[in-house]
Each structure stands twice: as structure tokens, then as C-alpha cells.
Amino acid sequence: MGNNPRLEYIRQRSIFVKVHRIVNLMKWKKLEHNGILFPPDFETKKIKIKIKGESVDLDIKQEEMVYQWAKKKDTPYAQDKVFQKNFVADFAKTFGSKYKKLELTDIEFENAFNLVDKEKDAKEILTKEEKKALALKRKELRDEMKEKFGKGKMDGKEVEIANYMAEPPGIFIGRGEHPLRGKWKPKVTTKHVTLNLGKEAKIPKGDWGKIVHDKESMWMASWTDYLTQKRKYVWLADTAGIKQDRDKAKYDKAKMLAGEIETVKNKIVKDMGSRDAEIRRISTVCWLIYRTAMRVGDEKDPEEADTVGATTLRKEHVTLTTDAIKFDFLGKDSVRWQETVPAIGNDKQFYENLKELTLKIKPTDEIFGNLTSRGVNEYYKTVVNGLTAKVFRTFSASTVVSRYLNENGDIKKRSQMEKLYHAKLANLEAAKMCNHKRTIPKTFEQSLQKKRDTLKVAEKATPWKKNEEILEKAGITKTKTDAQEKKRKERITKIKQMIKKSKTKQKEKVEKLKLQLDLTEKTRDYNLGTSLRNYIDPRIFKSWTDEVKADWEKLYTSALQKKFLWVKSENESWQNVSKHY
């Protein structure tokens, strides 16, 4: 079969369709759980404020808002003008029409600030025993709540439930330059929550918004976020068998796409040159998704920040130079996406199509008109049944990781630290491709300098010096008997071994610090965790670490190891896995 390209093509396609069908067949029959846990109500702290010089009596909601603002007083958020404006606007609304043009400077928070400082000081002066006792008390409460809300039954088997608590009310932070940052997120109650249960299951006590029996879904409860209008979910824990099966199927789809990618590419490239304008339009957006791993883009809610993706790009987001295509826009979570694609090879046609599509439209017009993710996925299905745009991000992230590991050769004889360093640089390539940028911590430079200082000290350190002095003395020590001479020589041998061991240990320490420093500098702008958790086929790192004799557990946190339990039963070699991507 392997010698017949046509038969191999049919085999790969049938496997892809089979995986797609398996995913659709994964359903539960019975589901029971106790609903979700709600955070405790805010208790008054007798906070007093003044507005425009006058003392104001606060109700419990207003007091909670003031307290939360006070807790943000020493953060960069409190200095952000948009954050300030949004918070004050929401706070003013709680007084009806009394304060129509309220400014932050009109409010005296001194009493609330002092309270927060006192609470912070009180925590800092606690003894070790007191801190330990409080931690134990919190753990006992967590264990009690987990027993009640963190477990359920699916098809008669006990399953863990992941994030079983509703989000507490508070000030919305958001990611990047989110326009809603600073606004107040109100309390979630049972009336807002939809529970997903089996038809025969006992309904937990409470005035729930809705009860559904969605056997295809892995969520226990959901509600709509008041501000972003996005659905929030309480999911099955990653260790649940059906969740493990779906997770594996997701990566199997990406693996199958790897076997079909030339067929898909050829079809898109051919259609980009079609005489039919509609075919050119849809194939161009599909090439964009393949070429950049960009999200489709129309998953955004109307009230969300002005973020875009492939189908919703506007002319103002794309600049066509003489020989390249430049993208600059806000992507998911208001994270800026900047990328340049040179107009060479197949990208020449891509360039020409974008030029045609943007020629007669305004800067604020969408390049691809009314095209949606449904239209994109319908097109993909004409190439390979079961293929969707989402599979491309998993495929692309996995491919760049596999390529990096392959291109960096045989490192079996390198140190464990260097092996993990290369694995993390491969992870970084995926984070860059997926545009997983992060907000740089305010202490980043301070932390980086500390690492540099530690390295300088380590490079100058000579912990073996004292033993060298002892060795020198032992070398000139005169002995009177053969037994003493034998003992002296044995001592010299032992000291030499100690010196050698000390130098090796010091060399390893310096190497480790250098790699850590370099990795910290290179990953400054990116979050590696998202791609590692959601987009990189874990079989790539598992087979590679097995091949080079590295520790897979050092790369994946204990939580991710539980999520990818299914990987441990996979015994594919690195040679075989790397052929797929």
C-alpha cells in the first residue's frame, strides 16, 4: 500500500473521516453533580468615603466596589486612565442620577486605603505557626468543598470536576488594551446559571436559570459573563475518561491533516488562481489561516473589544508594500498581532488576491465581506471531510515544534538542562506562531538583573580553591612510614576527585544559569503555557524526550501530566511521530 500514492491518499483520508466520526460519537448517557460553589457574600468592613467633600453612606455593593478599588491602589491598573474612567462610571451608576459627572479625584478613598494597608500589615506580622494554622484551615475548607462540588458521576463512574466555583464579583482586568478594563463585574447567582445534567439526575437545590441535558457537552454548568457576554463554563476535569478520548482525537485530527496537507495546499493554491471571484475570495482567506495560523475571527461577541481574525480583517489592518504583506491588528483578548509575509512563491498569488480584494473598499471595510467561519469550514470539507479551521492551529503549532527539534540535531549527549532548554525554545516557536503574547510583569527587569548578577557571581566563584590548598600541603607533607605514605597518597587521590567533582558541578551550575538567563530573555514577550496545553501534540515532546533521554515530567506540570495521561500509553517512536509533522 505504501508504494501506491493513490491508495495511501485514500487510506489517510478515510482515517481522518473516522477520527471525525469518533469525536462526534463521544457522548455520556447519565450525568449527576451537585451544581457549583458560589463565593461567600461580601461582609461589611464599615468603610467610609467622601464624595466632593461630603460623607457618603455606602450600601453593601458600593462598599465592596470601594474595597476592591483600594486593593488595586498599588498596581499599574489604578494609574490607567481607561481603567479609572470605567470604574468611576460604574460606581457613579450605583447612586442613580446623583453623580452624573463624577471624577476619580472627587472621591476620597483614604479610609479604604488605610484598611487595606492594615490588613496587609496584619498578614505580614503573623508568626510561622499562625500562617501554618490559617493555611491548614483553608485546606480543610477546600477539601470539604471539593468533596461536595468537585466530584460528579458520569455513566455510573465518579469523575472530577475542574473549576467548580463561580467567579467572584470584582473589577474587570482583561488582557491587553481591553476597552472594558476597570468596569465592575457583578455577582453571579443561581438565576444566571444553566446546569447540564442527566434526565434522571436529582436537581441540586437552588433557583437555577435553566436545566439542560446536552449529552455531547463536557460542561457541568455555564452562565453568560455580564461584561463580555461570553459564556463561562464549569468543565469536567482533564482526567475524565471521555475528556481524555476527545483530547486524543483532537490531536489525531491534526496528525491526519499533516498527512493531507499537500492536498489541502494544492487545492487552495489552485483555487486562489480561479476565474471565479467567490472561489478566489474564500480560498484566499483559507490560505491566510494556513499561512499564519490566524484564528477565523467571527467568534467575537458584539460587546467585546474591537478584535479581529482572518474573516473579519479590515483593509486598515493590512499594508501591501512592493514585495510583502504586513498585518497589524488586535487579535483575541486584545493582543496585538504583527506579522510580515514576503510575497514569494505561493504568497505571490496571495498578495495579488489581497490587492484585488482591497482595491475598491474603504479602510474600515472588511476585506472578505460577509464570509464566516461556517463558509470557511464548508470549503475545507470539500477538500477533506471533517477538516475545520481550528485544526490548522493545532497542526501548525505541532509542525513548528517538530521542525525545530529535528533541525537541532542529536543532543543525546548534552546535559538535561540543555535538552529542556531546546524543548522550551521549540515551545517558543509555537507560541510565536500562535501569537501568544503576554503582559510583561512589572518586576521582569528586576528579576532578569538578579539572574545576571547570580551568573556573574557563579562565574567568578572557585569553590575548589580550599581543596587545592589542602592538596598542595598534602603534596609536600613528609611521611615516616609506608602506612603513612599510603594514607597520604589515598588522601591526595580523594582530594583530586573532590576538586574535579567541584569543578564539574560549578561548570554545570554556570551552564544552567546561562541557559536560564537566555531563556528568560527570549521568552520575555510570550506565554509558553497556552500552546503547550492546547496546541502542541504532546506525543511530539513525549517521543522526543524518550529519544534523547530527557525528563518529560520536567517539561509538563503535574496538571498537564494529568491532562495528557493518555500519552503515556502511546508508544510511538520519535522517528515515527516526527514523520507526521
Q: Which residues are catalytic?
A: 535
- What lies within 8 Å, CB to CB, of 467 at 6+ separation is 495, 498, 499, 502
Residue appearing with cell numbers 548578577: 453
- Separation CA 54–CA 69 (nearest Å): 19
Q: For residues 280 and 373, is the Cβ–Cβ distance under 8 A?
A: no
Q: For residues 326 and 319, is the Cβ–Cβ distance under 8 A?
A: yes
As a 3-state breakdown, the chain gives helix, strand, coil percent values, each rounded to 5, of: 55, 10, 35
Residue 98 sits at φ, ψ, to 5 deg, of -65, -40
DSSP, residue by residue, 98-139: S-TT--GGGEE-HHHHHHHHHHHHHHHT--HHHHHHHHHHHH
50 three-state secondary structure: strand
Q: For residues 343 and 368, is the Cβ–Cβ distance under 8 A?
A: no
CA 357 to mean position of chain CA atoms: 34
- Residue 219 pairs with which residues in a beta bridge? 235
Task: Name the residue among 394, 396, 425, 430 with its Cα closest to residue 408.
Answer: 425
Half-sphere exposure of 329 (CA within 13 A, CB side): 25
Q: For residues 522 and 425, is the Cβ–Cβ distance under 8 A?
A: yes
14 three-state secondary structure: helix
- Residue 236 pairs with which residues in a beta bridge? 161
Residue appearing with cell numbers 605514605: 485
Say if residue 207 is exposed, middle or buried (CB neighbours under 10 Å; 0-12, 13-18, 19+). Answer: exposed
Q: For residues 463 and 365, is the Cβ–Cβ distance under 8 A?
A: no
Task: Name the residue among 427, 67, 12, 30 with its Cα closest to residue 257.
Answer: 12
